[in-house]
Structure 1
Amino acid sequence: MQQNAAKRAIVEDAYRRSRGPVAFLDESYQVPDPVIAPAETFYIFTAVIVAFDQMDELRDGLAEIAESTWWHTTKALLEKDGRTKTREMLEFLAEGHETCIIAFQVPVDGQDHDGETARRACYRGLAIELAAGREDAWAPVDLLVLEERNQNNFRTKDRINHKELIAEKQIPQPTRLLQTSPAVERLLWLPDLVSSAYRRTLTHTDTTRTLFDVVRDRVHFVEPVE
């Protein structure tokens, strides 16, 4: 609990120092297996852009639908009640003013067994577009909040990917990457929802394949950047 409180303080401080909306990022992927080849490989990286004055309403609405302070879309979709709640959350997102952006790579290179090359390309594509903004779509974003990965070496890779973009002057110097947990910032549920919904268009033929249709009109697609 103390650790989460400290992490929340870091997130709140980052918000105070931000000038524009905040982008929340998460991914979904299916990468090559050296033993058993999957039918299709892909890497999906999603950003959902949220204005500060909408954050509390979104947090409250998501918790109300989930009837919990914990959520993971992949697990929720295994049960009927979870599938219903997933659709309700996507409908709740679609009713708002938030913009969703997806960078995806299909297929993933056969030698990219951990998906890190695809992840880097998708992140670069997203970060460049987020920082630049797009007229009549979203204002430039200077804070990217990414769901942190469990292993420190992977978190380090994400930091390096971001620093490379700044060093190459692909994104402005003030653009920051903050890695944290959905237990700290519930708004990370949003890119998890959208990534999972889009994943289903690639992997499923059942009724859950239509989940992405709920938010399709709110989504912009961008190209990965090598």
Structure 2
Amino acid sequence: MEVLTETGISLLSSALFVLLAWIFSKTARRFARGIAAHMLHLDTEEVFANGGEAGPDIKRELNRARTVFIFTSRGAELQRETFAEMIARSHSRRCHCRIMLPQLTVPAGEVDWIADREAELHDFDSAFGTDLLRRQVAATYDYLSPLLVPGHLEVRGYNIPHLGRVVATERVLYLTPYSADRHGSSSPVIKYRRGQTYDVLMRLMDKIWTASSP
């Protein structure tokens, strides 16, 4: 019995050690990347494997932000917990949030970029191909519509290629580059602090916002 007990304790200790090593090694890797970025004068603060991993960090930044800019495709994530406090703060005029979604109706002669992205999604996800993406974007518009507050929570439509998602505050910017062979939620998320990359991307977002329609 003593042998079994000692063996059990040994196995438990080993499992605990492996778990702690994994947790702290992840933290250490992030710390090392941050130090390297500062030494090399890079403005990359963190790289997350996917949207799920980035979610808690994005939520923390949004919950303390005074200004927020969001450029996204289907926008389903706006209905989730990550963005709930930000939307509530915008609705109570404690945060100014601008959101850009794909334009649902495209004038004759212009490229329909929702259809273009849907074709990409259909190649690896058979659920798409029947205008599902457009219906998902429409659902996001419907969700946000009663929450709009002029000057505090605003939405505009764009008609340019769906190449990525941007979530930015006055302090940081998260870029999720979209790929033609995976969903955006499965793509890496790059977090930038204020710097050259932040400034270039925000200048681009401001130009797109100005050229877009409410």
* TM-score, normalised by the number of residues in structure 1: 0.28
Query: Taking CA–CA contacts closer than 8 Å with sequence separation of 6 or more, which of the two structures ends up with the larger relative contact order?
Result: 1
Which entry has the higher C-alpha Rg, 1 or 2? 2
